[in-house]
A and B are shown apart, each in its own frame.
Chain A
Amino acid sequence: MEKANTKKRSSNDIIMTLLKGRTLIILGILVVLFSIITNNFFSLNTGLTIAKHVALYGILGLGMTYVLITGGIDLSVGAVAGLAGMIAGGLINQGLTLSAFGVTIYFSAPLVFFITACVGILFGWLNGIIITKLNVVPFIATLGTMNIARGLANLRSGGATFSNIVGKEALGNTGFDFLGKSILGIPVGVIILVILAIVAGIILKYTSFGWHILAIGGNERAAKLSGIKVNREKTYVYMFSGLCSAIVGMIAAAQLVAAHPATGEGWEMNAISSAVLGGTSMAGGIGTAGGTIIGAFIIGVINDGMTMYGVSEFWQKIIKGIVVILAVVIDQFQRNLQAKMALQARNENK
């Protein structure tokens, strides 16, 4: 009996380790698979292209991870990214016209970054206020702001594209396309992704704010009774997500050197998929920044790998859908196993 128990336990431990490392394992398998079936997949160039794409939904995924951890959801990220691109592109190309004074002000690129980031944060704050103060469920609140942001993005240019957003020497506003360039061969977007991931990871693990949001998602009532300012911290989380969206909007615009009001449509789904593939629980309370980055790479490899292999876009969508559902199923299996093992430990402690 004793022996059988130990045997069972160690096999459980092995399964558990495999489950915990599953996102990396899946990523590895995908890379190997596409390297075999597709020419040129396993190359630095392809890697950098994928990384460039991954940076976009990876950063959105980081903000989404925070939101999901509190038990919420942010559907507005794609639209806010689109709006951010339009605001940044507009400020570079047309400046800010104050009709009352009859002047048009052109801001330098760093100032444009700052203003656009503020708009993103403002949208996040709006989400937070609607959710915490007006008690609208996150799904509906962010569905609303998603449409508002998309509408504003279209209004900014009347639906047209801002092209060639590089600025003019004479106006002193060049340098916006920096976000789309590379440093030592590494795309700036990827560098930002890495920095943000490290910061987000550290905040989650080593600050009281991080633990507070984990607690809010785990049991909001208990968190409140523990003295955590639930509403305030939730609002911060949506503001962070808004900031991430704005950054992504600017990177996307800079990569294309153009801003289109439809940019970012459907990106919220990539962000959610990245987070969920990375082990973030839709029920709240569980999630890591690192996991989300791996999740984003899985989505990126599937996207670009299948495109290179020649799988039609329609099939890509179907496969991505299956992968996300499978991820959640495996996640639940892991959680059940974990609960079982905890119960076991509890009984053995007796």
Chain B
Amino acid sequence: MDKNVVLHAEAVDKIYPGTKALDNVSYDVERGKVNVLIGENGAGKSTLMKIIAGIEQPSSGKLYLDGEEVSFKNTTEARNHGIGIIHQELSLFPNLNVYQNIFMGREYTQGIKLNNKKHAKLTQKVLEKLEHPIDENTIVGDLRVGQQQMIEIARNFIQDDLKILIMDEPTSSLSQQEVEVLFKLMREFTAQGISIVYISHRLEEILKIGDNVTILRDGKYVARAEVSDIDVPWIVQQMVGEGKSYPKKERKIDWSKQEKVLEVKDLSLPKSGGGFLLDHVNFDLKKGEILGIYGLMGAGRTEIFECIMGLRPEHTGEIYKNGNKIEVKNISQQLDQGFALVPEDRQKEGLVQTLNIGKNISLSSLKNYCKFIFLNGKEENESIDKQIKDIMIKVADKKLPILSLSGGNQQKVVIGKGILTNPEILLLDEPSRGIDIGAKTEVFDIINQYAELGLSIIVISSELKEIVSIADRVIVLSNGIKTGEFSEDQITEDTLVLSSYKGHHGHESKKES
């Protein structure tokens, strides 16, 4: 056996009732390398990783660790063999504090008493190593998503004997800055001989951090290559079978002549511990325009949407719609005024899992189909069908449960729900989070299509390439302050990144003075 291979999976099959998630897949994890695993949603990446980490058992096939055959009944066994995993979905205890989360299940004790001093000290140490100092007594539920992910990562770095670290989309909720820290750490770990398996949808990241790339499609092995030999179009081609990327669109519109549909003046949102989450932010939105909002985690992007939708009654500032000042009271009133929101967290905020596909689409606009108090089922169904067709949701029957759809189609359902309220202004918070490339392209097509029809759209995105390609204009936030506004040719990855770091320095210098 090749000495450079730390873990080898031989002809692994995984059969779920009615489907073959993995079909005769052989896979090598190279020692001290960043082994990238990619594929569209449902390609079998997560299943393969779950088998390696002991969460699932293969239906057939073998695993070899350092040349010896192993099989893991559960995660503890895998962990004892030095295999750790960071899940795509956070698996933290929001009700407990940072060190309790990190040491859950492997507590240090003195007799029967917990050694919390040791927990706290080791937690401090590991978080410092991760360049992400967070007070170890903070309740995890109070942390931002990006910080929570750091805790999840820190949990695995506590292990001394770590051989293989599996990271399933660890950066999907991290800011650019946090990603840099993570990448630096990953390089430190590979230098120490730890092997990393890295799953990501962000192709530019893969080329930056990966050593080799393995591609799965529909549960089957497709290709493997050294990163130095390949480029993004090649990866995309292997993944979807055809070349796909997001082309920058050219719109010939003189925006200065377009009417303003929305103007936000001096929008401020106080922070609970003093200071501002949003600090006197001004911006406007023209008819039919796609305005991008870019910023690092915690820059105040989502908070802007929350203020506009009436979810933050404590905000101050003025909001004008079509030139008239409006009072923001609550979300249902804002929906009536022509605003619609597609929230960031699809599962927690977007979908009602117990309702079927059709009802999830019509949920926000049910009152439009009411006669007296009764629903006009026919009218409602026609609108749902039209919406499903308009935004290309692939669905056999709208009465199926919502969870029978893939992530991309679920996202389209949430977008469809917003559009069905006939908004003038559509707010999209990370509309492409956690969906595969094919679905992403379709989501962007939908956004463009409705903008052409005159819908004014604001898009929050953490993915630079996306925002550069889709937005007509971009504002950048940093620490609650608007640090940049760019249009047309000024919208480049460099200008956006630069602005997104500006406020941090500004804030610090303010502190000093």
Q: Are B374 and A218 in contact (CB under 8 A)?
A: no
Q: Are B348 and A226 in contact (CB under 8 A)?
A: no
Q: Closest chain B residue to A208 by CB distance? A: B366
Q: Are A340 and B17 in contact (CB under 8 A)?
A: yes
Q: A206 near B: Cβ within 8 Å? A: yes
Q: A3 near B: Cβ within 8 Å? A: no
Cα distance A345–B320 in the bound complex, in angstroms: 46
Cα distance A219–B334 in the bound complex, in angstroms: 20
Interface of A is mostly: helix
Q: Which A residues, 85 to 116, have Cβ-Cβ distances below 8 Å to chain B?
A: none
Interface centre among B21, B348, B352, B373 (most CB of A within 10 A): B352
Interface of B is mostly: mixed
Q: B416 near A: Cβ within 8 Å? A: no
Q: B484 near A: Cβ within 8 Å? A: no
Q: Which of B154-162, B396-404, B473-481 contacts A (4 or more CB under 8 A)?
A: B396-404
Q: Closest chain B residue to A5 by CB distance? A: B18
**Which of A212, A225, A284, A345 lies in contact with B366, CB distance below 8 A?**
A212
0/1 string, A176-215, CB within 8 A of B gives 1: 0000000000000000000000000001001111011011
Interface centre among B20, B359, B369, B373 (most CB of A within 10 A): B373
Q: Are A227 and B349 in contact (CB under 8 A)?
A: no
Cα distance A338–B336 in the bound complex, in angstroms: 36
Q: Are B354 and A228 in contact (CB under 8 A)?
A: no
Q: A286 near B: Cβ within 8 Å? A: yes
- Given A229-B332, A340-B17, the answer on whether A208 and B367 have CB atoms closer than 8 Å is yes
Cα distance A348–B218 in the bound complex, in angstroms: 11
Q: A78 near B: Cβ within 8 Å? A: no
Q: Are B351 and A222 in contact (CB under 8 A)?
A: yes
Cα distance A207–B349 in the bound complex, in angstroms: 23
- Given A206-B377, A214-B354, the answer on whether A221 and B349 have CB atoms closer than 8 Å is yes
Q: Are A8 and B394 in contact (CB under 8 A)?
A: no
Cα distance A222–B355 in the bound complex, in angstroms: 12
- Given A209-B373, A229-B332, the answer on whether A219 and B351 have CB atoms closer than 8 Å is yes
A26: chain B residues at CB < 8 Å are: none
Q: Are B18 and A348 in contact (CB under 8 A)?
A: yes
A206: chain B residues at CB < 8 Å are: 374-375, 377
- Given A225-B343, A339-B403, A345-B404, the answer on whether A208 and B351 have CB atoms closer than 8 Å is no
**Which of B17, B218, B348, B403 lies in contact with A350, CB distance below 8 A?**
B218
0/1 string, B40-54, CB within 8 A of A gives 1: 001000000000000
Q: Are A342 and B404 in contact (CB under 8 A)?
A: yes
Cα distance A304–B311 in the bound complex, in angstroms: 52
B396: chain A residues at CB < 8 Å are: 345, 349
B331: chain A residues at CB < 8 Å are: 224-225, 227
B311: chain A residues at CB < 8 Å are: 225
Q: B353 near A: Cβ within 8 Å? A: yes
Q: A347 near B: Cβ within 8 Å? A: yes
0/1 string, B350-383, CB within 8 A of A gives 1: 1111110001000110110110011101000000
| Chain B interface (Cβ < 8 Å from any Cβ of A) | 16-21, 42, 218, 309, 311, 330-332, 334-336, 341, 343, 348-355, 359, 363-364, 366-367, 369-370, 373-375, 377, 394, 396, 400-401, 403-406, 417, 421
Given A211-B363, A218-B353, A348-B19: 20 more A-B contacts, CB < 8 Å = A8-B17, A8-B18, A206-B374, A206-B375, A209-B373, A211-B359, A219-B354, A225-B309, A225-B331, A225-B349, A227-B331, A227-B334, A227-B335, A227-B364, A228-B332, A285-B354, A342-B401, A344-B18, A346-B404, A350-B218
**17 A-B contact pairs sorted by A residue (CB < 8 Å):** A1-B20, A208-B369, A211-B355, A211-B363, A211-B375, A214-B359, A215-B363, A221-B348, A221-B349, A222-B349, A225-B341, A226-B363, A227-B364, A344-B17, A345-B400, A346-B403, A347-B16
